């Protein structure tokens, strides 16, 4: 197929791997309402998911099992009006922003999940993707379970509820459920009197603890704690279960933890997903991106007049490239921040393009100059092609593209929407081929060996770049499995 036709057909598809989800929980030991803090915490995590969102709260002094929950499709500020938030009264709560990697994007699949069972009520928010969810779900269905959603998070909720029937506490039930589920998960669970956080033993997705006065928080990213004025207490360790209650404060269960060298944090959190003002397991995301840019400058140098980043995630790496190379850093694009993920995409025949709606080039900055343009990744190549052409149209003399991740060669099974191999531009293509296809003067990727260095030696997952996964992937692509 002609490449340009291929690009045209793909233009309206997401050009970046989808962020997975964001989770946020709060427990005010003084009995104050937590829904405003959850709302603002989630707002800081909106970049992790823009399809649906929800907040569930409960009053620990009120009737046991009464949970108030609002969830719907859309952004936080579309779903939650001041009136709706005002009605969500409770001193313990959990919230979620969603991007679907398993289960379709529908209202029924929005989180948090609220489960009423014989021992009470559970609220659950999940970030990640299980690799054995279809099998577990079938097992549960054969024993009479009826599922309300098509998401793997409900499998987790069911397992916790079942285990709770034979254990003395919710946290023990969570530990038992963790023995069954496999894959990526950062969980926040609200029981009638406890807030529980759990991270899978490999630590794919981040989770941290914060505190403000007598209120404790659990959050996907530290930037959410900053937003609500909470201090960072610590990260939840991979495999750890933390139980937060007024009686005991923070209690840690490390029985599911594995040796640190076996951890497998998603390296793409550092490269693209997380906000640069977040720290994950002691590593600043900003610093990680600066390092990636510096390594690109060392490994793929080129003479040029200006280094620019594709906003937002290419900006830090561009600054790193500039610092290392001495080539001035500048701005070449103006981003329209008001274009949501679900904006009305121009039709194929229309003169507008999705990329142009989102980005415009600063002609004055690039005309007559040799530009190094840094982006965090190339998935299908659609956007890179468009942006390179936009820079040329604006008068750039040369356009050299540098990418702050290695080429995507494999899909992800752990909660990132990296598509099937056939849709990845780097599948069966050399960097030279790709460079030609996107119309750049040169192209350089971050070397795979540099991934360890950008996270300063923390054990990571790099499966989508190498095909070597920390957990054996399922035999087939399980995304959307439950709809079949």
**Residues forming the annotated binding site for Mg(2+)?**
313, 375-376
Binding of residue 414 to ligand SF4 (CB under 6 A): yes
Question: For ligand SF4, which residue of 279, 464, 471, 478 counts as binding (CB under 6 A)?
Answer: 464
Q: Which of 5, 21, 223, 257 is catalytic?
A: 21
**Rounded to the nearest whole angstrom, what is the least distance from the CB of residue 13 to ligand SF4 in the complex?**
18
Chain-centroid distance of CA 219 in Å reads 12
Peptide bond connecting 312 to the previous residue in cis, omega within 30 degrees of 0: yes
Q: Is 388 in the site for ligand SF4 (CB under 6 A)?
A: no
3-state helix, strand, coil split of the chain in percent (to 5) is 30, 25, 45
For β-strands 183-190 and 195-199, DSSP reports them as antiparallel
CB nearer ligand SF4, residue 45 or residue 461: 461
Contacting range for ligand SF4; rule: CB under 6 A; set: 97-105, 190-198, 332-340, 414-422: 414-422
> Considering the complex, what minimum distance in angstroms separates the CB of residue 103 from ligand SF4?
17
Binding residues for [4Fe-4S] cluster: 266, 412, 461, 464
Task: Give the phi and the psi of residue 461 in degrees, each rounded to 5.
Answer: -90, 135
461 binds ligand SF4 (CB under 6 A): yes
Beta strands in 110-159 (DSSP E): 113-117, 120-130
**How far apart are CB 264 and ligand SF4 at their closest, in Å?**
7
Please identify, using beta-carbon distances, which residue of 266 and 391 lies nearer to ligand SF4. 266
Instruction: Pick the stretch among 21-29, 146-154, 159-167, 458-466 that binds ligand SF4 (CB under 6 A).
Output: 458-466
Per-residue burial over 25-63, b = 16 or more CB atoms within 10 Å of its CB, e = otherwise: bbbbbeeebbbbbbbebbbbbbbbbbbbbbbbbbbbeee
Q: Does 463 bind ligand SF4 (CB under 6 A)?
A: yes
Applying CB under 6 A, does 204 fall inside the site for ligand SF4?
yes
Cβ at position 16, least distance to ligand SF4 in Å? 12
Quote the DSSP letter at residue 376: S
Start-end of H helices in 64-151: 76-79, 82-87, 133-142
Question: If you ran DSSP here, which 8-state letter would residue 367 be given?
Answer: T
Q: Is 169 helix (H, G, I), strand (E, B) or coil?
A: coil
209 binds ligand SF4 (CB under 6 A): no
Active site residue 53: no
**Cβ atoms of 127 and 220 closer than 8 Å:** yes
The count of other CB atoms within 10 Å of the CB of residue 7 is 19
* CB nearer ligand SF4, residue 321 or residue 414: 414
Contacting range for ligand SF4; rule: CB under 6 A; set: 80-88, 248-256, 343-351, 455-463: 455-463
Annotated binding residues, written as ranges, equal: 266, 313, 375-376, 412, 461, 464
Residues 257-296 touching ligand SF4, rule: CB under 6 A, are 266-268
CA distance 36 to 92: 12
The single residue among 126, 275, 462, 479 that binds ligand SF4, judged by CB under 6 A, is 462
H/E run at residue 420: none
Show which residues are catalytic.
21
Site residues for ligand SF4 per CB under 6 A: 204, 266-268, 412, 414, 416, 418, 461-464
């Amino acid at each position: 197929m002609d490449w340009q036709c291929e690009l045209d057909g793909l233009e309206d598809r997401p050009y970046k791997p989808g962020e997975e989800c964001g989770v946020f929980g709060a427990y005010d030991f003084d009995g104050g309402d937590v829904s405003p803090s959850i709302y603002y915490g989630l707002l800081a995590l909106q970049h992790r998911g823009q399809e649906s969102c929800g907040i569930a709260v409960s009053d620990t002094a009120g009737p046991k099992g009464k949970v108030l929950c609002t969830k719907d499709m859309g952004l936080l500020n579309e779903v939650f009006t001041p009136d709706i938030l005002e009605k969500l009264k409770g001193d313990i709560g959990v919230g979620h922003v969603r991007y679907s990697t398993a289960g379709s994007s529908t209202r029924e699949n929005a989180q948090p999940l609220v489960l009423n069972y014989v021992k009470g009520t559970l609220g659950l928010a999940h970030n990640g993707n299980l690799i054995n969810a279809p099998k577990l779900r079938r097992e549960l269905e054969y024993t009479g379970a009826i599922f309300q959603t098509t998401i793997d998070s409900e499998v987790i909720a069911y397992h916790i509820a079942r285990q709770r029937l034979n254990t003395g506490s919710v946290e023990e039930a969570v530990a038992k459920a963790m023995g069954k589920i496999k894959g990526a998960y950062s969980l926040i669970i609200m029981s009638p009197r406890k807030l529980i956080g759990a991270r899978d033993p490999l630590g794919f997705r981040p989770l941290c603890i914060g505190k403000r006065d007598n209120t404790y928080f659990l959050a996907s990213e530290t930037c959410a704690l900053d937003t609500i004025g909470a201090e960072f207490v610590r990260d939840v360790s991979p495999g750890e279960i933390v139980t937060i209650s007024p009686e005991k404060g923070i209690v840690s269960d490390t029985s599911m933890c594995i040796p640190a060298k076996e951890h497998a944090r998603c390296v793409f959190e550092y490269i693209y997903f997380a906000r640069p003002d977040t720290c994950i397991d002691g590593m600043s995301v900003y610093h990680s991106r600066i390092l990636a840019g510096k390594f690109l400058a060392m490994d793929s140098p080129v003479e040029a007049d200006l280094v620019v980043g594709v906003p937002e995630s290419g900006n830090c790496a561009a600054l790193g490239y500039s610092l290392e190379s001495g080539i001035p850093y500048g701005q070449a694009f103006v981003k329209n921040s008001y274009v949501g993920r679900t904006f009305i995409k121009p039709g194929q025949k229309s003169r507008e393009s999705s990329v142009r709606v989102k980005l415009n080039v600063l002609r004055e900055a690039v005309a007559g100059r040799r530009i190094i343009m840094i982006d965090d990744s190339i998935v299908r190549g659609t956007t890179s092609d468009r942006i390179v052409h936009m820079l040329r149209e604006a008068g750039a003399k040369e356009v050299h593209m540098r990418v702050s991740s290695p080429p995507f060669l494999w899909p992800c099974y752990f909660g990132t929407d990296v598509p099937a191999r056939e849709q990845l531009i780097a599948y069966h293509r050399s960097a030279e081929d790709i460079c030609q296809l996107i119309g750049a003067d040169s192209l350089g990727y971050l070397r795979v060996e540099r991934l360890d260095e950008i996270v300063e030696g923390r054990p990571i997952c790099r499966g989508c770049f190498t095909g070597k996964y920390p957990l054996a992937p399922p035999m087939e692509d399980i995304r959307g499995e439950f709809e079949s």
